[in-house]
Amino acid sequence: MKRIHKVLVIAGCLALAVLAYGFSAEPQGIPILIYHEVGPVWGGDAQMFVEPSVFRAQMQYLQENGFTTISLQDLYNHFSRGYSLPPRPVVITFDDGYAGVYRHAWPIMREYGFRGTLFVTDYIDDYLYMTKEQVASLVEDGFELGNHSRSHRDLRAKDDHELVHEVAHFNEELETTFGVEVIAFCYPMGFYDERVVKAVEQAGLRIAVTVRQGRAAPAQGLLTLHRIPIFRHDCVRSFARKIGGRP
């Protein structure tokens, strides 16, 4: 029961955070998409669940309209070092590490030659989440691994010692476990303040994303970039409008 409660709390967090931070439109920038679970609704906020058939239609739209998936490492290199990006770049992020991303989203993305960024917590191997082996499979297939904090709690409530444990120490564990460098962070529930951002920076993370809505642009700060949430109700037409494509 405790595990189920934990999952349901996380599933409903994005909607609350979006209401708290509101919408900030960016006329230019790079779309970073937010997905959570891909698959049938099993609890929590149904808007956080995208049906596999809808997800496939969205990926098909991206391919047919010339979009290319990039990593947050690519975006960091572009924003901070001036590296070029392919035409119509888009970042596809998955928060929390739910098992449906492995079961449903990953096979579809492989068909279209797309890659994504997977933000995980210490809930790996827990109920309804991916196993370590599943995460490793995605990483080996080209997914970027990101840090979503150890416990997925509001980091603003943590003292300095706890922040190090949640961010820096967990980052080290991810890198050791999966054998990759982890440079991207996602604030749990989208909540952060100046002290939390500083802890992320001191942990050596170079780029971080929020749930503030809009296209990502350097003026937002590389550790507080905006993203675009994709919800259950987003048909291809609304999906296209969100990412700046043609409906």
Residues 110-137: tens digit of each pLDDT? 999 999 999 999 999 999 999 999 999 9
Backbone angles phi, psi at 142, to 5 degrees: 110, 0
Q: How many residues does the chain have?
A: 247
Q: Model pTM?
A: 0.90
CA–CA separation, 242 vs 227, rounded Å? 10
Regarding beta strands 144-147 and 49-50, do their DSSP bridges make them parallel or antiparallel, or are they unpaired? unpaired
Architecture of domain 2-22+53-243: Alpha-Beta Barrel (3.20)
Q: Give me the DSSP letters along 183-194.
A: -EEE-GGG---H
CA–CA separation, 187 vs 189, rounded Å? 6
Q: Tell me if 94 sits within 8 A of 105, measured CB to CB.
A: yes
Name every residue whose Cβ is closer than 8 Å to that of residue 164 and which is 6 or more positions away in sequence. Answer: 199, 203
CA–CA separation, 79 vs 120, rounded Å? 24
CA–CA separation, 75 vs 153, rounded Å? 27
Tokens of 185: 């962070």
Whose CA is closest to 152, among 179, 186, 110, 175? 186
Q: Tell me if 213 sits within 8 A of 22, measured CB to CB.
A: yes
pLDDT in tens, the chain (247 residues): 444 445 544 454 544 444 444 433 334 899 999 999 999 999 888 999 999 999 999 999 999 999 999 999 999 999 999 999 999 999 999 999 999 999 999 999 999 999 999 999 999 999 999 999 999 999 999 999 999 999 999 999 999 999 999 999 999 999 999 999 999 999 999 999 999 999 999 999 999 999 999 999 999 999 999 999 999 999 999 999 999 866 5
DSSP reduced 3-state for 12: coil
Assign residue 66 a region: left if phi > 0, alpha if psi is -120 to 50, beta otherwise? left
Q: Residue 151's CB: how many other CB atoms inside 10 A?
A: 17
Q: Indicate the domain borders of the chain.
A: 2-22+53-243
How far apart, in Å, do the first and last CA atoms of the chain sit?
43
CA–CA separation, 108 vs 243, rounded Å? 19
Q: Tell me if 56 sits within 8 A of 39, measured CB to CB.
A: no
Tokens of 138: 């995605």
Tokens of 68: 């290319």
Q: Which pLDDT score, from 0 to 100, does residue 240 have? A: 96
Q: What is the pLDDT of residues 38-76, one digit of tens each?
A: 999 998 889 999 999 999 999 999 999 999 999 999 999
Q: Tell me if 121 sits within 8 A of 132, measured CB to CB.
A: no
